[in-house]
Structure 1
Amino acid sequence: MSDLLKLASGGKINPAYLAHAKQTFLSQADEKAFLDACGRGLRKSVRVNTLKYSVEEFRELAARHQWQLTAIPWCKEGFWVDESSLSENTALGNTPEHVQGLFYIQEASSMLPSVALLGDNKLAAPLVLDMAAAPGSKTTQLAAMLNNQGLVVANELSASRLKSLHNNLVRCGIFNAAMSHHDGRKFADFVPGLFDYILLDAPCGGEGTVRKDIHALENWSLAKVKEIGELQKALILSAYQSLKPGGRLVYSTCTLSVEENQAIVEFLRANTDAKVINLKHLFEGAERSLIAEGYLHVLPHLYDSEGFFVACIGKPAESQPSESPLAQFKSPFEKLTKKEKLRLREYYQAQFGIDIEPDGFQLLKRQKEVWIFPQAIGEVNAYMKVNRAGMKIAEVYPNKIRSTHEFAYCFGQAATDQIVELTKPDFVEFVKGQSLHLDNCDCRDGEVLMFYQKKVIGIAQKQKNKIKNGYPRELVKDNYQG
């Protein structure tokens, strides 16, 4: 084993992989820097959730905590956080601001695909598909970039990952999303030519993740690379066929081999009328990772990040879909009566000062449940099975309305009444699922919105001086310290 190889991840890189990399994409001039980077831990990075928090507010938060930030050049909401500036007891995922959904912990390179897809979007309410969405980093980024307008279909083949995907949508206050559970290779069969934008962050060999997983390259083999390449070809072809004429597709992976990257896009180009959109102007410094075809091949040492690949594809406006989508499904939801809708809108206006049916959305019911949906959902759920869309905001009974945690996270920040501002100790107890006794609370009995540092954290019921906690049991952190 060479001295250079020993530098990388304690010698965990398969020599066969290094030989393959040198034959296909890794130059001799870059070899040492590449291996040095593979042997270092990954920098912490976060993305501000601008649906709830401004970049300036996040900078002020960082200044209070003395976090040292470095702006991520391709994402104006993204920052690297210098780990040495974090206190010993600070885990970013346990900070109140993360619990409240004010920022998302996301690897810097993985912010690139969404920017490539929607960075110059001019559509007011586009239909967007995130074909392999869990755990939700890119879905939440796309939704924030659209300011909760249009519709983002977050598809995930793994049923076990849908719950975490939904939890992240709720935490980030996203209600223009729909979750589906389909094999991405089948999308072209039931929604040909439907979406304005599609992100295919494809399943891959994960070669670029070695900085956070030192075992990522231990068992690498070219046979496995070629095997997964066949799946990627089927996925990218299905994605392209699901795209509207004039639409845009971004294909990305967190791997580096040509067989899973350039070769997949070239397969698409050889079999369709797909056109490459050159990414040389995506951000200042993009030329460092730009390759001849116009794709970004992000090696770990170029920006001190995870390895990544991003290609942007346009579908010509004159392209003709092979067929039209066929309606197959009937929604279990129905419209509210005028009386039911008036009752709800009057309740939320009187209780919290909130309009719960903003432009571009509609309230629908299923038995006692009331949900808010993007109006664009009608363009999707007749043609494909949607597991969950929009957000459940209330359960309605003859004598009361019971609001949900989802309502609090999606609408609570707009409240002007029935707000309880928590101290740090009370915030910690609330996240632990405990009820509170607040002697100085002057809110009316009934539903109240719980805030910490002027940002919503959940819903509760007030009765005299007692606050009955409404924080969902599955989100409760029993040992939370804040």
Structure 2
Amino acid sequence: KSVIGFRLNPLKRHYKDVDYDLTASVPFSQDGFIGKVSGRSLEHQAGYVYSQDLSAMYVAAVANAQPGDKVLDLCAAPGGKSTQLAEQLNNQGLLVSNEINTKRAKILAENMERIGAKNVIITNESPDNLAKVFKGYFDKIVVDAPCSGEGMFRKDHSAVKYWHKDYPAECAHRQKLILEEAIKMLKTGGELVYS
């Protein structure tokens, strides 16, 4: 069973002044807390809180973006990791948040706008097209690659419908192609976090 959590957004002024319980903190996320938030609450709509599984919070915590870094979130929608990376950057440096699926890229853009990030470029590109432009550019790259989705079965039972016996192998092949392009965009000595 997943543990539900949320993050506070330090890009907002007085960001800790929220109507949520802040007693159960997440040890590896400075602004992460255990608990459920409503996506319809004013604090969520205004970008003060972002609901996220603790396991997803861990990815950006490992990436540990620093103000001034150039960071790529290659498979970014809906934006949980990107919002967390943007918060780490504190509007310094650059975050490129990419999503190949146009519909999901729009959701990503809405989430990034809501948190108030000013140093983010949203792209809707394939990894190979991005690699042509950003060769050896990024200090840090996060790749939360599309996968076979078994982890979603517990949350979204309809996810079972698109699964078939060859699907994991197809996803592994796609992930390899994504990683091959991601490596091209990483600076020498940079870090790639693969989730």
Q: Same fold (TM over 0.5)?
A: yes
> Which residue, out of 8, 18, 23, partners 1:48?
8
Tell me, yes or no, if structure 1 residue 109 matches structure 2 residue 55.
yes
Matched ranges for 1:63-212 at <5 A: 67=21, 69-81=23-35, 92-118=38-64, 121=66, 124-212=67-155
| Counterpart residue type for residue 57 of structure 1 | D
Aligned residue in 1 for 2:173: 230
Q: Write the distance in 2 (CA, Å) between the matches of 1:139 and 1:56.
A: 20
Aligned residue for 2:142, secondary structure, equals strand
Write the distance in 2 (CA, Å) between the matches of 1:126 and 1:113.
16
TM-superposed CA distance for 1:129, in Å, is 0.8
| Structure 1 pair 129–171 and aligned structure 2 pair: CA distance change class (3 A) | same
Q: Counterparts of 2:170 and 2:54 in 1: how far apart (Å)?
A: 28
- Deviation string 1:47-86 (CA, Å, 9 cap, x unpaired) is 111111567434xx33xxxx475222221211121x6xxx
Q: Distance in 2 between matches of 1:130 and 1:148?
A: 16
Change (3 A) 1:165 1:56: closer
Unmatched segments (≥5 aa) in structure 2: none
TM-score by structure 1 length?
0.38
* Aligned-partner Cα distance in 2 for 1:187–1:198: 12
Matched residues, number: 195
Structure 1 69/221 Cα, relative in aligned 2: closer, same or farther at 3 Å? farther
In the superposition, relative to structure 1, how do residues 178 and 219 fare at CA in structure 2: closer, same or farther (>3 Å)?
closer
The separation in 2 between residues aligned to 1:173 and 1:146, in whole angstroms, is 12
Q: Is the 8 A contact 1:200 1:250 kept in 2?
A: yes
Q: Which amino acid aligns with 1:78?
A: G
TM-superposed deviation, 1:187:
2.9
Higher relative contact order (CA 8 A, sep 6+): 2
**What is the deviation of 1:125?**
1.3
- Across the aligned residues of Structure 1 and Structure 2, the Cα RMSD in angstroms comes to 2.2
Q: Structure 1 runs of 4+ off > 6 angstroms? A: none
Equivalent position amino acid for 2:17 in 1 = E
Aligned 1:430-445 pairs, distance under 5 A = none
| Deviation of 1:162 (Å) | 2.5
SS of equivalent to 1:51: coil
AA partner of residue 112 (structure 1): Y
CA distance in 2, matches of 1:53, 1:137: 20
**Do the aligned partners of 2:15 and 2:48 also contact (CA within 8 Å) in 1?**
no
TM score, norm. by length of structure 2: 0.89
- Indicate how the Cα distance of structure 1 residues 53 and 80 shifts in structure 2: closer, same or farther if over 3 A, else same: farther
% of aligned pairs identical?
A: 37
Write the distance in 2 (CA, Å) between the matches of 1:219 and 1:155.
24
Specify the SS of the correspondent of 1:113: helix
Give the C-alpha shift of residue 168 in structure 1: 1.2
Alpha-carbon deviation of 1:220? 4.2
**1:106 aligns to what SS in structure 2?**
strand
Q: Deviations over 1:234-257 (max 9, x none)?
A: 1011101110001111111xxxxx
**Which letter does structure 2 place at the counterpart of 1:75?**
S
What CA distance in whole angstroms lies between the structure 1 residues aligned with 2:137 and 2:22?
Answer: 44
Q: 2:17 aligns with which of 47, 57, 67?
A: 57
Q: Deviations over 1:411-454 (max 9, x none)?
A: xxxxxxxxxxxxxxxxxxxxxxxxxxxxxxxxxxxxxxxxxxxx
Amino acid at match of 1:195: F
- Which runs of 5 or more residues in structure 1 are unaligned? 1-36, 84-90, 253-482
Q: Distance in 1 between matches of 2:165 and 2:128?
A: 23
2:40 maps to a residue whose letter is N
Secondary structure of the residue that 2:192 maps to in structure 1? strand
Question: 1:53–1:102: 8 Å Cα contact kept in structure 2?
Answer: no
Q: What is the identity, as a one-letter code, of the residue corresponding to 1:93?
A: G
Q: Following the alignment from structure 2 to structure 1, what is the Cα–Cα distance between the partners of residues 155 and 117?
A: 28
Give the whole-Å Cα distance in 1 for the aligned partners of 2:39 and 2:167: 34
In structure 1, how many angstroms separate the alpha carbons of the residues matched to 2:161 and 2:26?
30
Counterpart Cα distance in 2 of 1:158 and 1:80: 30
Aligned residue for 1:192, secondary structure, equals coil
Matched residues in 2 for 1:218 and 1:134: separation? 21
